[in-house]
Amino acid sequence: MNSKTLKSQHKAVYEQFFQENQIVVSAPFLMTWSGDLSKFYSGITIKQKIPLRLYMGININKSQTISFNNITYFDKVSDTFAKSDILEYVPHFHNVQKHISTERKHLITLHGGIEINILSELPRGIGLGFESIVSFLLATTLYRLAGHIDNYSVEQVNAMPIEDAMKKSDPETSKWLAEGIVFDKLTFGTIISSIKRSSFFSGYYPTITIAKDYDNVDESVQFSLHKSYTFRFNELFEGLKPVPFLPMDYGVIYSGKPMLLEQVIARDKTDSLYLNTIKPELKHVFSPYFSDLSNEEIPKFYKQFIDTENSKTEKTLYGGLMGLISIKILYAMHKLYGNDYNEEYVKFFINVLKKYRRGDYITKESSSSFLDVIKTLTEHFLSSNSILSLFPNDTSIMGGTIGFALPLEGYRKYIVDSVEETKKNFPGVDMIYCSRLDGMEHEGLKFEQDVEKGIFSEFIGEEKHTFRNTDGLHILGDYNELMAIKGQDILLDCTNNKLYVNDKKVTSEELHSQTTTIDVLQMLMKHIGKDVHNKQLPASSYSKNKNTMLSKIVIPFIKLTKKELKKDFPLICKGMLYDFYMRLGKTDIKIGIIEK
């Protein structure tokens, strides 16, 4: 499954999303070769983009609020997209909404109102960076609305080596990435910077992030930005091919058990059998013998593994073991990417990935159902298990996804068959991504659409039209579809220079010049309640003379709207004969406009 397939099979879903949002940014989901929750253990993380994306859309309206609206996500079980309220689907975003409503109030002054929508090609719970990518895209859209970044600046930063971009680029870049980290903390109480960097920066190769020193924990945003380091794989290892070839099949399988990151982090911090049960009980056993001894006399084993005052032991052990395995994975990947096919390197890589899984099991309290899924997948793999590696893509604590890797030989059918057989025992299990079927992803953060900047998605195109009205509604779509929208008191059809009042086309007998009327109203709608000088109006004979403007445009149109709507239209023309102003006052008359 990949973006291209989903767009082809569910075109209407994408069309609707892009028609309803003026700004759309996207970033790819990520698979993890190594690292797990490495930030807690001073480890390294190796992540790779996969060709499935998460999109965030912004609909600018007149609501005078910043609000989360809907999320549309692909449900692979039903093979269709489902829709839900964002704050019901991700309740922790209530904290984010409160934060941005307070800290980003100036955006309401700039734009009037902001509605946030999400389109995800995977549901929440599968993992692969969902929550952290949402935080990153939210920071991106807010900084775009503030005018600090745009498509060009993103492309400029993306072209730089990652560490140069983090340390040497415009200060706004650091603030922008820091904003996403703030949203992480508001959502699930910690900082996940490796996901943002890996999803942001383009490149076919994996990214490597080295976490901060666990012994000097500082959860501040700036510490996270400047004390972790991220590199594209081909920035560290020179001389690699522009487009990599990894001589094996690999991918991601969903275990059927949802993995919600905030639950994983909470459990990882508090629900430890070792910390909460084993250590206290064994301390009770040993303390009578060691409590009166000096520190030098107490056995090192007791101090490190049993003394309850030493709470870092478990994390230190995990960090050491997983760090060693991660280094071996990094080394093996370097050999595979840097050499032609070599069977020994493939075997070495697969064996190291197996150690990664075993290390995770040893040091973490893995979900029993997650382990059962792996056991069943292995049993149904109709070949030697020595050539198949299954490893936790997110974390085996709660479930989520399973990474797989196997040689290029004739085994690729076996993994697909194994997944299908495992489904019979575990209905939620499914193949999410397979490299040989779905290809590779190299694009990172992307402005899919920015109507104001002239960027249109493939589902809109420059031939599309926009509809907006004084209620703040803004829709992109085909001309005929937009013309079918009813309920506007006044409609300006700028494409064909036609006016409609109360859903009826205005005739030339009723209004002398519809073209000039449309041009003037189109300008005044951008400045409702403000005086616009006649020299700012579109050039015409009417805009040069106040009396001509009044007699041919203003008075006839006010009479027409009074007749059809039974309301006074607040169109004002005042000043000197050749030096005058026009103003469209605030009104409950609903005015719509269609333009290309």
Sorted by where each starts, the structural domains of the chain and their CATH numbers stand as 3-244+440-453 (3.30.230.10), 261-271+312-438 (3.30.70), 465-595 (1.10.10)
Kindly state the tokens that stand for 347.
Answer: 């075997």
Unique residue bearing structure tokens 């901060």: 212
Average pLDDT, the chain: 82
Give strand ranges (E) for 202-329: 207-210, 229-232, 248-254
- What span, in angstroms and rounded, lies between the C-alpha atoms of 29 and 3? 11
Q: HSE (CB half, 13 Å, CA atoms) of 186?
A: 21
The confidence band for 533, taking pLDDT boundaries of 50, 70 and 90, is very high
Residue 57 DSSP SS3: strand
Q: Where are the strands (E) in 22-79, listed by range?
A: 23-34, 44-60, 66-75
| Helix orientation angle between 412-423 and 368-380, rounded to the nearest 10 degrees | 130
Banded pLDDT at 173 (limits 50, 70, 90): low
Tell me, what's the pLDDT at 197?
A: 79
CA of 449: how far to CAs of 94, 121, 505, in Å? 26, 17, 33
Q: What is the 3-state secondary structure (H, E, C) of 522-590?
A: HHHHCCCCCCEEHHHCCCCCHHHCHHHHHHHHHHHHHHHHHHHHCCCCCEEEEECCCCEEEEECCCCCC
pLDDT value, residue 169: 60
Kind and range of the H or E run holding 477: strand 474-477
- Residue 461 is predicted with a pLDDT of 63
Please give the average per-residue pLDDT across 549-575, as a whole number: 91
> Do the Cβ atoms of 198 and 132 come closer than 8 Å?
no
> In the chain, how long is the greatest CA-to-CA distance?
107
Q: Which two tokens stand for residue 414?
A: 């076996």
> Most confidently modeled of 171-175, 505-509, 567-571?
567-571
Burial of 356 (0-12, 13-18, 19+ CB in 10 A): buried
- Indicate the residue type of 207: T
> Which element (helix H / strand E) includes 369?
helix 368-380
DSSP state of 211: P
Specify burial of residue 75 (Cβ count, 10 A radius: 0-12, 13-18, 19+): exposed
Question: Which percentage of the chain shows pLDDT scores above 70?
Answer: 83
Beta bridge partners of 248: 407
List pLDDT tens digits, range 82-139.
999 999 998 888 888 888 888 888 888 888 889 999 999 999 888 788 888 888 899 8
Residue 512 burial (10 A CB sphere; 0-12, 13-18, 19+): middle
**Token pair recorded at residue 228:** 């972790």
Per the DSSP assignment, residues forming a β-bridge with 581 are 533, 574
- Alpha-carbon span 594 to 596, nearest angstrom: 7
pLDDT at 182 over 90: no
Q: Is the pLDDT of residue 264 over 60?
A: no
CA 47/CA 60 separation, integer angstroms: 34
Place of tokens 């080596």: 161
Listed ranges 173-177, 229-233, 299-303; the one with the highest mean pLDDT: 229-233
Cα(472)–Cα(453) distance, integer angstroms: 19
Contact 504, 514 (CB under 8 A): no
d(CA 193, CA 201) in angstroms, rounded, equals: 13
Please give the span between the terminal C-alpha atoms of the chain, in angstroms, as a whole number: 35
CA distances from 301 to 64, 298, 319, 486 (A): 62, 9, 18, 78
Distance between CA atoms of 515 and 498, rounded to whole angstroms?
7
Residue closest to 101 by CA, chosen among 141, 64, 135, 134: 64
